[in-house]
A and B are shown apart, each in its own frame.
Chain A
């Protein structure tokens, strides 16, 4: 095809215009800078550590990405992490069964996700409000179940949270595995198509015969399920399920999604982007620790990075109203 010769420069500018690329470049620059700034940074141990820190945010963010692409939002993920961890730990403790403990944690996450979906699609509550309600309820239930005291949670959960395959942390391997699966779902499956169409223009999608409600249920269910998995990993890493686990995680998760180029207005977003976003967040955290900068600055910078990344995008696109 002759047009291929014309295509390559266009493809190159296209690639440059994508948020994934700018996040990747920032990530790379930060890695180069840190390698010179701190001798401990570019060691296998530290890099895998960053990977482990990124993995929970990234795994939960995968579900969140689908939700946001479908023009929803799930604010409840942080609390669902806590609720799932506590549920899993209690189930494992009372039944003595590892597998039931894992099932309990994932089940709690899935239930919370389905609950959000019902609030949204059946009761027509705006997802921002619906999941804000769930955020509070899930945390409250976790506290009630434990009386506020952490429950010990080890066995298979600690393998997920702290185990290694060769030298690679299990949670990091799981992150890459799930990322590959979600990439496939988003780009190659019918469900993926429905998700993008629903978020891009829900009315047009509905008129085209796409089952918009079913799609919304699916994405919220997945988001809940992955928050449950996130809870398992976090609790396993600490060998303990605290009802406070995952507090504030929704910010990191949504930040990773937005950094990765997913538009809050729906219909646009990519899986590689969100993984890069989660890695960047974890890398920043690690850099601050190694450079001995106050963790208070870390909080400020996190916010600044989100505003910058989205701000550049907004200035490029111009106003839309």
Chain B
């Protein structure tokens, strides 16, 4: 144990009832560059948040250079030389480059005033290290490209040499030249004894630049191999693991009974034109890595996001795009991702959460028909097996899975022709998950066409008649049930990476 930079021993973490890390062990030597791979939701970010101090483990311990780590905040981690560069930009746009680099650690000169000269000087050195030699440290960050901003975050992390540098998808917004320079920096840091953990979805990048590659799957570390001893196919196999624990209930699709046609649909940002057809009772899974464009497609289809071009026909009716109330009236409903932020009405009762999309049908001349509302919401709550005391309970009293089922009930009660589900089982436990899969199957059997966006392969296999794969905003392939294999789906998902 003595010569390790970082030792992680039996780290376990749960969010509510869901255990997301199961006793992870990992040791990293000084100067090692370790690639950390895994599917979305495998627990990579959670693990790194624990290592950097922004989350606390429930069980297990960690050591940094032999010293027990007891981090209470990311500040503690930074003070000990642990730097985490997140995937999402956290630069402050209205400040200068130098101010961003020294954010939280402004250099104070005489009388406690900020020493701008010294900050600019040291910023220049850090910028040179990340390949931004020419950049003036006084430039306002808002005027820079996302890639440059990403490099500034990295400069911020290395302006004082860290002991451990964690990079989460650092190259996703970089050009290939910038990425090459970043890897030069990583090699230099490694030579100086800095250990680097490198989270990525780009397998080639990991193979070319890491000493070791570890794979996390469902909160367990499943492989730890030298980069020279493994390859892309092996890594994908580790990431996917053995196939799903959920059983597929068979197809309810009526081939030829076309219900939904999407033609040339795109949004105003990075979605490329999408063509997609669905039959009655067909369940299509949208798979892709984070940022693949799945949510964008759903929201554009639903009218929540502005359309740039394209048309959507549901039943025999052409949808007026860009207006959600119209979409709902025409038989399209959505269960959005993010139960708390976009799903529930937190101060409302279960009943009113469920009826929220059906107010038209439940009212007469603008007056609610309360008795009908009560009995119908009760029936839907029952049929979706929502566990609660009664429908008058405030929704936040229910467990996450049951809250999600109430949002489901809301979308289903409208009797839509097309049901859109965006990561419908995020943050619900395994039991509720399999119930939700069963519900999806039952709805399909009633003739609804269902589009499910998912970043979990077992989920895709549990519910989909067909899997449509997105990569960087482009629909790159459509696989029938017979063609669907985990390796094939992942290969497609990596197409544009």
Contact = CB atoms under 8 A, between A and B. Distances in A.
Contacts of A190: 359-360, 363, 366-368
A289 B410 CA distance: 54
Contact of A209 (B324, B343, B344): B324
A208 B344 contact: no
Interface string B343-367: 1111110001001110110010011
Contacts of B359: 190, 193-194, 210
Contacts of A3: 390
Contacts of B355: 193
B366 A201 contact: no
B334 A204 contact: no
A205 interface: yes
Contact of B344 (A194, A201, A206): A201
Contacts, number: 82
The range of chain A's interface size is: 20 to 34
Nearest to B411: A208
B366 A267 contact: no
B370 interface: yes
A207 B347 contact: no
A284 to B, nearest CB: 29
A188 B327 CA distance: 25
B336 interface: yes
B345 A205 contact: yes
Interface in B313-351: 324-325, 327-329, 333-334, 336, 341-348
A188 B348 contact: no
A197 interface: yes
B304 interface: yes
B304 to A, nearest CB: 6
Contacts of B410: 208
The range of chain B's interface size is: 20 to 34
B368 A207 contact: no
A68 to B, nearest CB: 13
B345 A188 contact: no
A204 B344 contact: yes
A3 B329 CA distance: 38
A220 interface: no
Interface in A109-156: none
A267 B304 contact: no
B320 to A, nearest CB: 13
Contacts of A210: 325, 356-357, 359
Contact of B356 (A189, A193, A211): A193
Contacts of A194: 359
Most chain B C-beta atoms within 10 Å of own C-beta, residue among A190, A209, A211: A209
B325 A209 contact: yes
A204 B363 contact: no
B334 A196 contact: no
A205 to B, nearest CB: 7
B345 A200 contact: yes
Interface string A1-15: 001000000000000
Contact of A268 (B304, B329, B347, B414): B347
Given A190-B359, A196-B348, A267-B348, A204 B343 contact: yes
Interface of A: 3, 188-191, 193-194, 196-197, 200-201, 203-211, 263, 267-268
7 contacts: A194-B359, A196-B345, A200-B346, A201-B341, A206-B324, A209-B324, A209-B333
